[in-house]
C-alpha cells in the first residue's frame, strides 16, 4: 500500500483512539461538578475513577486469556468495544449520580477500553516498515500520544470550569460513537497476520520468554511511577503554588497539570518514538527513566518554591515519565510471535494497570508520613528497577530484533 494510504490510516486511527478514550476520563473530568450538584461523598467520587481502572484490568485479562485482540478483526473488536463503552457512558446522563448503577457503568466502560488501547497499538504495528528502517516506535508512540492527550483533558476541563457536566459526558459519548464508525475506514497494513487458533496459555509467554519478560519488567517499573504521578500531580501543584503565595493557585495548578500530562507528555511519546527507531529501544527507555526518576527525587524539594521553577521541572517530568511507554509496547511487538502481538500487548497493559492500583493508593499515605518533600521519591523505585531490566535486555541476544538491530 502507498505512503499516502499509510498516513491516512494512522491519522484516522489517532482520531479514533482519541475519541474512544474520551469515555475513560469523562466522569473524572466532571467529578467536581457532581460533588457540588449532587453532594457526592469523596469515597463515591473516588469509585468513579477506580471502577474504570478495575474494569480495564478485568477486560484486558479476559481479552488476553481468550486471545481476542489476535483472533477477532481489529476494527470489529475496536468498534464493538467502543459502542459498549459509549452505551455505558451515556447511561450516566439518566442514572442517579449518587447511586451504585453509575459505578457499574464506569466498570463496564473500563472493561470496554481493553478493546481500544491495546488494539489501537496493534493496528499501528501493521504499518511498520521492516528491518533497519523500522518506524514502529514512531507509529506506536503516536497512538500512545493520543491516549496521553486524552489523559490530560480532565485537567483542562477543570481549569476552564463552568461547563455543565452533562455536556462533557454527552460530548464524550458522541465522540466515541463517531470513533466506532470511523474505525472501519482505517486500513490495516501489510503486517496484518491471519487469526491464530485459541491458546489459553499464549498470554503467559510474555513472562516465560526471557526477553519478553525483561521488556515487561521494564514496563512495570515505568507504570509504578506513571499513574501515581498523573493522579497526584495536580494536588501537589495546588499545595505548592498555594504555599508560594501564588494568586489563583487552583487554576494555575490545573492548567500546568494539563500541559505536563497532555501536551508535553504527548509530545514526548512521539519524539521518543522517532528517537528509539534510530538510536534503540533500550537506549531511549533507559534515558527517559533516568530523567523522570531524577524528577521524582528533586521535585519535592521544590515544594513551595518559585512557581516558575516548579513548572519547568514538572513539564520535563511530564514529557519523560511517559516518553518510554510506547517503546515498552513496541519492544513487545518486535519480540513477540507475529500472530500473538495483540494478546501480549494486552497482557502487558493488564499487568501495568494492576500495579497502578497499588501505587495510586500508596501516595496519600506517603504524603501523610513523609510530607510532599519526600513523597514522590518513592516513585523513583520504579524507574530504577526499569533501568535495570532494560539494561539486561540490551545485552540479551534477542535484543537484535529491536528497532531493526538498534538496541
Distance CA(348)–CA(334), nearest Å, equals 14
pLDDT reported for residue 19: 86
Mean predicted confidence (pLDDT) in 210-233: 92
Mean predicted confidence (pLDDT) in 179-207: 78
pLDDT reported for residue 126: 87
In the chain, % of residues over pLDDT 70 = 90
Count Cβ neighbours within 10 Å for each residue of 21-34 and write b for 16 or more, e otherwise. Answer: bbbbbbbbbbbbbb
pLDDT reported for residue 151: 67
User: Is pLDDT at 160 greater than 70 in this prediction?
Assistant: no
Reading the block at residue 281, the C-alpha cell is: 529501544
Distance CA(90)–CA(213), nearest Å, equals 39
> Do 123 and 341 touch, CB atoms closer than 8 A?
no
pLDDT tens column, 260-282: 988 898 889 889 988 988 898 99
Which sign does the torsion angle of CA 23, 29, 35, 40 carry?
positive
Mean predicted confidence (pLDDT) in 378-388: 96
User: Is pLDDT at 1 greater than 60 in this prediction?
Assistant: no
Residues 6+ apart with CB under 8 A from 365: none
- Confidence band for 340, pLDDT divided at 50, 70 and 90: confident
Range ranked top by mean pLDDT from 36-50, 148-162, 282-296, 345-359: 282-296
Distance CA(336)–CA(167), nearest Å, equals 42
User: Is pLDDT at 202 greater than 80 in this prediction?
Assistant: no
pLDDT tens column, 236-250: 998 999 999 998 888
- Confidence band for 304, pLDDT divided at 50, 70 and 90: very high
Mean residue pLDDT across the chain: 86
The alpha helices in 72-209, defined as continuous H runs, are: 74-90, 101-112, 117-125, 136-160, 165-182, 205-208
pLDDT reported for residue 67: 84
pLDDT reported for residue 75: 94
Q: How far is CA 232 from CA 3, 17, 151, 238, in A?
A: 41, 25, 13, 10
Q: What are the residue boundaries of the structural domains of the chain, listed by start?
A: 3-183+200-405
User: Is pLDDT at 357 greater than 90 in this prediction?
Assistant: no
User: Is pLDDT at 84 greater than 70 in this prediction?
Assistant: yes
Which has the higher per-residue pLDDT, 185 or 250?
185
Q: Name the architecture of domain 3-183+200-405.
A: Up-down Bundle (1.20)
Mean predicted confidence (pLDDT) in 380-405: 90
pLDDT tens column, 33-72: 777 777 777 677 777 777 888 999 999 888 888 888 888 8
User: Is pLDDT at 132 greater than 60 in this prediction?
Assistant: no
pLDDT tens column, 8-17: 888 999 989 9
User: Is pLDDT at 105 greater than 80 in this prediction?
Assistant: yes
> Do 169 and 41 touch, CB atoms closer than 8 A?
no
> Do 336 and 205 touch, CB atoms closer than 8 A?
yes
pTM: 0.86
User: Is pLDDT at 123 greater than 60 in this prediction?
Assistant: yes
- Confidence band for 319, pLDDT divided at 50, 70 and 90: very high
Amino acid at each position: 500500500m502507498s505512503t499516502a494510504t499509510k498516513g491516512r490510516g494512522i491519522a484516522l486511527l489517532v482520531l479514533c483512539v482519541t475519541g474512544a478514550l474520551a469515555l475513560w476520563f469523562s466522569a473524572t473530568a466532571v467529578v467536581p461538578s457532581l460533588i457540588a450538584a449532587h453532594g457526592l461523598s469523596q469515597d463515591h467520587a473516588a469509585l468513579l475513577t477506580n471502577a474504570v481502572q478495575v474494569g480495564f484490568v478485568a477486560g484486558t485479562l479476559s481479552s488476553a486469556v481468550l486471545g481476542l485482540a489476535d483472533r477477532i478483526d481489529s476494527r470489529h473488536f475496536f468498534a464493538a468495544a467502543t459502542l459498549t463503552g459509549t452505551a455505558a457512558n451515556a447511561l450516566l446522563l439518566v442514572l442517579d449520580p449518587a447511586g451504585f448503577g453509575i459505578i457499574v457503568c464506569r466498570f463496564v466502560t473500563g472493561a470496554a477500553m481493553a478493546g481500544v488501547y491495546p488494539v489501537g497499538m496493534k493496528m499501528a504495528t501493521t504499518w511498520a516498515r521492516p528491518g533497519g528502517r523500522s518506524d514502529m516506535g514512531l507509529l506506536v508512540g503516536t497512538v500512545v500520544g493520543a491516549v496521553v492527550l486524552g489523559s490530560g483533558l480532565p485537567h483542562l476541563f477543570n481549569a476552564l470550569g463552568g461547563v455543565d457536566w452533562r455536556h462533557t459526558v454527552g460530548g464524550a459519548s458522541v465522540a466515541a460513537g463517531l470513533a466506532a464508525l470511523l474505525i472501519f475506514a482505517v486500513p490495516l497494513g501489510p503486517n496484518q497476520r491471519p487469526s491464530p487458533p485459541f491458546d489459553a496459555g499464549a498470554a503467559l509467554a510474555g513472562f516465560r520468554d526471557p526477553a519478553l519478560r525483561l521488556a515487561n519488567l521494564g514496563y512495570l517499573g515505568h507504570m509504578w511511577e506513571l499513574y501515581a504521578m498523573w493522579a497526584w500531580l495536580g494536588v501537589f501543584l495546588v499545595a505548592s503554588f498555594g504555599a508560594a503565595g501564588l494568586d489563583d493557585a487552583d487554576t494555575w495548578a490545573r492548567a500546568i497539570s494539563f500541559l505536563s500530562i497532555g501536551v508535553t507528555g504527548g509530545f514526548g511519546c512521539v519524539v521518543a518514538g522517532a528517537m528509539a527507531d534510530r538510536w534503540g529501544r533500550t537506549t531511549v527507555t533507559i534515558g527517559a527513566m533516568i530523567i523522570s526518576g531524577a524528577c521524582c527525587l528533586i521535585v519535592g524539594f521544590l515544594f513551595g518554591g518559585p512557581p516558575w521553577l516548579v513548572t519547568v521541572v514538572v513539564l520535563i517530568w511530564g514529557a519523560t515519565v511517559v516518553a518510554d511507554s510506547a517503546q515498552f509496547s513496541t519492544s513487545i511487538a518486535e519480540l513477540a510471535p507475529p500472530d500473538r502481538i495483540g494478546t501480549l500487548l494486552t497482557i502487558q497493559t493488564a499487568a501495568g494497570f494492576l500495579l497502578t492500583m497499588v501505587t495510586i493508593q500508596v501516595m496519600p499515605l506517603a504524603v501523610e508520613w513523609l510530607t510532599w518533600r519526600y513523597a514522590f521519591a518513592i516513585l523513583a523505585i520504579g524507574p530504577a528497577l526499569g533501568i535495570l531490566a532494560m539494561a539486561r535486555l540490551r545485552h540479551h541476544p534477542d535484543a537484535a530484533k529491536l528497532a531493526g538491530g538498534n538496541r
